[in-house]
Amino acid sequence: MDKRIGNVKQACSIYHLESRDPKGMGQELLWLNNGVLTLLVNLSHCGDIHQLWHKGNNVSFLTKNGLVGEHSDFLKSFPAGMVYTCGLDAIGGVPGHYLHGNIHNTPAEVLSKEETETGIKLLLRIEDTALFGDKLVLYRSLVLEAGDPAFHLEDRLVNEGFKDAKYCLLYHCNFGYPFLDERSEISGDILASEPRTPFAKQEVAKSLHMEAPVDGIEETCYFVKTGNGSMSITSPNLGLQATVTSSLKDFVEWKSRASGDYVVGLEPCTSHLDDHLAYRTIGAQKEETHTLEIRFKQI
């Protein structure tokens, strides 16, 4: 221990909180800080990252819904946030399934949490189970090194059942103001990009550039294939670049310029949506690992 430190929370800290907001009453949260990044992790919702700040500046996009306990209607309960996990039963709209799947609405069990002067380590367990159905367990680790402008998320998906199981996964990573503004640019090792809708096709020349808010404008979405599993977005407003890197090389790029719903989502996924949707198979008693990192760099 550094002799100048009497309490490790001066270097890296974890605080266990409970929401008192009316719509999110009773939700369990972890507040993490490594000296550069502050993360609000929602244990009641898969251990997803509800909000992220870089040196005090908000990076993440939050919908008008905020923290919501109920999830009967997706549009009225979707919080967005820095990382919203989609799957394991559906990504996008799949008949008979909740939009973007149910895993986000599953609480996480804390297996261990560690705060030292060198960093933070968090290990969670999330179960996706059903009578006569699958038993998929997500072992999620979240690591932040002290003073490092990045977080590392690793999901080890284990099929603890006795038959093969299908799954899909998408990390909905959402950037908002003041990180995001009309000067922001998207980049990456992009091999191909396919517009999802006719309006997205019409806007394809602007797909990698953000613009000023427009009242009521339609969202755009692009199915992107990358060579290295990495996409970046720059913020001249904050002099900062964020790079999303994943073991998954397919991305969905989501952009909304609508006033009040102003967001860019960079979303690594096991499969694209709609007619492109394809499930992966994980064998009984087998496991697969997927990773996600978001790293910041001053520009």
pLDDT in tens, the chain (299 residues): 789 999 999 999 999 999 999 889 999 999 999 999 999 999 999 999 999 999 999 999 999 999 998 767 899 999 999 999 999 999 999 999 999 999 999 999 999 999 999 999 999 999 999 999 999 999 999 999 999 999 999 999 999 999 999 999 999 999 999 999 999 999 999 999 999 999 999 999 999 999 999 999 999 999 999 999 999 999 999 999 999 999 999 999 999 999 999 999 999 999 999 989 999 999 999 999 999 999 999 99
Exposure class string for 9-26: b at 16+ Cβ within 10 A, else e: eebbbbeeeebeeeebee
Strand-pairing partners, residue 281, are 166
CB 163 within 8 A of CB 135: no
Phi/psi of residue 152, each to 5°?
-120, 125
Strand-pairing partners, residue 112, are 123
CA gap 108, 43 in Å, rounded:
5
CA gap 264, 176 in Å, rounded:
7
Question: What predicted TM-score, i.e. pTM, was given to this entire model?
Answer: 0.97
Distances (CA, A) of 222 to 93, 118, 250: 16, 39, 11
* Cα angle, residue 218 at apex, residues 212 and 222 outer, rounded to 5°: 90
Strand-pairing partners, residue 190, are 226
CA gap 204, 212 in Å, rounded:
16
Peptide bond into 88 cis (omega under 30): yes
